[in-house]
Chain A
């Protein structure tokens, strides 16, 4: 049954299709046999800790790296064999800024427009539009090195859209930004599929940011360990938890078990109930035993809980993790073998 469903999904237009993709650097498999698809004009989130293989996967999709085995296609073109066609269809915002800091905002955008062969009649208009879109019109002729982190990111996103790509890649777009700029940038990004008719492929290791995605794939140690909508993923950890305080907890626990057949128990003077649809459960509880309820609160599982459940570790570990070791190993391998 599952296989049939898989094929049905496959036959509809997938802007990105990845099958059994493997990328090895020497002995290390940075990407270890992953498969996934991305629907057109959606936001797809690629989640995982440092060194999980996110950037390697993006590099393959962007034609910067050749896969060891497996295939990746974008907009119907093979990312390795038809790299020129793929490049025309994509825009990229890299983890590290790729702006020329010694040029102005406008010059960076014009450079991009020429590089992607945007016609003369269109060029000026698109650059002005991009400046307006990035809210940088009044700073257009300032050197990029005078910009804040948030301004640079907005400029990069706007630049990535100048040639009207089908897919925009965002590799850790909010890394190193303050919370305020992060929030602004997300507002800006979530509008893109509607406004610009573009599919967003993003990576992040901030789980809370992935909430805006239509679909998510969680990657760890080069393998996809779960995928689905944010809501589906949260079901993995067992749904919502409702916390209740009542005048008589013991009696209330019994009643709730009886009435709803739900898992309820008492701890530290609080009753907690695991349920899939918390928002529907609360009114029912209030209706039945409302006069005895002193307080009620509900906790939704976060994607962090999902990651914790799947891997047994936090996605962001403060000390240098195994992921950083892999990153370093890959970097030194590349230094020795394929330079740059």
Chain B
């Protein structure tokens, strides 16, 4: 059962706090830009990509994925803060289902991540990419679904941890490997077989891959997308459903 009033007010709280914390917005926007222009710019000279997209253009879908990954996980990990500072109790004793709490958190994570990825997306002309309006609609849709899946995944993580000491564990052992094993920085098809296996259990891989299809649909060869577009979209939709259900279960288990 989902209570609309609860989902609404949880989302409003997150949006209000997001708008209020300017520094958070600056840092979540700055990280992908640093990667895109400093890492991407430097590597472009090193990585020959033939006649297709440049390396900086190649990682652009991955950088969008990174924006979504970090902001979704951050957003969900705030549950640990809420537990630590006691506000979670206010929510847990309210006459609302645990699932509403999870849906509210996942929805706010989705909205915040999508807004941030749209800001990063606006840099595409600087990279010399041409993206049409229809592609943009597709990109925003994929970003939103991916953000919902990753936010829900973040909620599952947050349900396992009670203190913010665990935050660095999550960042170093889950978030960073997820980023590097997603095809964001190098094509999946060029990875060693062992690593390729990990990319296939990583929902971010399929989100990034879908974005590759949408951002440079004509690309052929080693830098092109690795999986069929339909498969990508189906997998991130399925991951959304799977993690939000798991998050609901993880929350209900408590108390």
Contact = CB atoms under 8 A, between A and B. Distances in A.
Interface in A73-121: 84, 87-88, 90, 92, 94, 96-103, 107, 110-112, 114-117
Given A102-B20, A103-B17, A114-B6, A338 B85 contact: no
B112 to A, nearest CB: 15
A170 to B, nearest CB: 14
Contact of A103 (B13, B83, B88, B89): B13
Contact of A114 (B9, B20, B253): B9
Contact of A94 (B21, B86, B96, B255): B86
Contact of A98 (B5, B6, B89, B254): B89
B95 A112 contact: no
A107 B254 contact: no
B167 to A, nearest CB: 16
Chain A contact-residue range equals 20 to 34
Contacts of A107: 13, 16
Interface string B51-93: 0000000000000000000000000000000010111111111
Given A101-B85, A102-B17, A338 B255 contact: yes
B205 interface: no
B46 interface: no
A140 to B, nearest CB: 15
Nearest to B90: A98
Nearest to A92: B93
A312 interface: no
A340 B83 contact: yes
A94 B95 contact: no
Interface in B94-119: 94-96
B87 A115 contact: no
Nearest to A65: B255
Given A107-B16, A340-B162, A340-B254, A99 B87 contact: yes
B37 interface: no
A339 B166 CA distance: 14
Name which of A62, A88, A117 has the most chain B CB atoms within 10 A of its CB: A117
B9 A115 contact: yes
B219 interface: no
Contacts of B160: 339
Contacts of B90: 98-100, 111-112, 115
B227 interface: no
Contacts of B95: 84, 87-88, 116-117
Contacts of A98: 86-90
Name which of B16, B85, B92, B93 has the most chain A CB atoms within 10 A of its CB: B93
23 contacts: A64-B92, A66-B255, A87-B95, A88-B95, A92-B89, A97-B85, A98-B89, A99-B86, A99-B87, A99-B90, A100-B13, A100-B87, A107-B16, A114-B5, A114-B6, A114-B9, A115-B5, A115-B90, A115-B91, A115-B94, A116-B94, A339-B162, A340-B254
Given A84-B95, A110-B9, 12 more contacts: A66-B255, A98-B88, A99-B87, A107-B13, A111-B90, A114-B5, A115-B90, A115-B94, A115-B96, A117-B95, A340-B83, A340-B88
Interface of B: 3, 5-6, 8-9, 12-13, 16-17, 20-21, 83, 85-96, 159-160, 162, 253-255
